[in-house]
């Protein structure tokens, strides 16, 4: 590979990186209006009988969700 080929490849890579960065900068405010964080109040607490850990439960619309991930460990946990 010649030096001129290296320069051409680096230029192409830099140009692609610049275009990607520019698009990310321009489009990020548009994406933010569709993906805003959801705030939810904990409505009750769930206690796991296996290990006594407590978890908050939140309501989003007409559905109930655990407000955090389970912390239960088994021999197969990673």
Residuewise pLDDT in 10s, the chain (78 residues): 566 667 677 878 888 898 888 888 777 776 666 665 667 777 889 899 888 999 999 888 788 888 888 887 777 776
31 and 5 housed in the same domain = yes
Query: Which residues span the domain enclosing 66?
Result: 37-70
Q: What is the pLDDT of residue 3?
A: 63
Beta-bridge mates of residue 42: 58
Domain count, the chain: 2
The whole-number pLDDT of residue 31 equals 65
What does the pLDDT read at residue 68? 87
In this structure, the dihedral spanned by the alpha carbons of residues 14, 18, 19 and 20, taken in order and rounded to 10 degrees, is 100
| Phi, psi of 42, rounded to the nearest 5 degrees | -70, 130
Q: What is the pLDDT of residue 78?
A: 67
Q: Do 2 and 28 reside in the same domain of the chain?
A: yes
Model confidence pTM above 0.75: no
Domain match, 29 and 41 both:
no
Q: Is 46 part of a structural domain of the chain?
A: yes
Which value, in Å, is the radius of gyration of the alpha carbons in the chain? 24
Please indicate, yes or no, whether residues 3 and 27 belong to a single structural domain of this protein. Answer: yes
């Amino acid at each position: 590979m010649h030096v001129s080929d290296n320069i051409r490849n680096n230029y192409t890579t830099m140009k692609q990186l610049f275009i990607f960065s520019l698009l990310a900068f321009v489009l990020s405010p548009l994406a933010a209006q569709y993906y805003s964080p959801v705030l939810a109040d904990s409505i009750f607490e769930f206690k796991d009988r296996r290990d006594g850990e407590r978890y908050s439960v939140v309501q989003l619309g007409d559905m109930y969700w655990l407000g955090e991930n389970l912390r239960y460990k088994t021999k197969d946990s990673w």
